[in-house]
Amino acid sequence: MDPEVAFGKVLRELRRRAELSQEALALEADLQRNYISMLERGLNSASLRTLFKLAGVLDVPVSDMLILVEQEMAAQGRLSKKRIHR
């Protein structure tokens, strides 16, 4: 699973949990509804600025969103289990 597809699945789930339509999320995040649709379908990549906008509206830390994306990718067997040592 591509990162964009995993992000789209996470975004859709978080949006639904927040009981927001694509249109409402787009309005609150100052984005276009069709862009939200493209993100949710994995057809586009979100910039960092967009990621922070979406996380703010969804009231979820950006780091939590990215963890969920990693988990989605791992569940599909597409993410290496290797971690960077600090």
The CA distances from residue 45 to 11, 20, 27, in Å, are: 12, 21, 19
pLDDT for the residue 14: 98
The CA distances from residue 74 to 1, 6, 52, in Å, are: 9, 10, 23
pLDDT for the residue 44: 96
Domain 3-75 has CATH 1.10.260.40: yes
Taking Cα atoms as reference points, which of 15, 21, 45 lies closest to residue 33?
21
Boundaries of every domain in the chain: 3-75
CA distance 49 to 40: 17
Burial group, residue 49, by CB count within 10 angstroms (0-12, 13-18, 19+): exposed
Q: Tell me if the pTM is above 0.85.
A: yes
Mean pLDDT of 43-58: 97
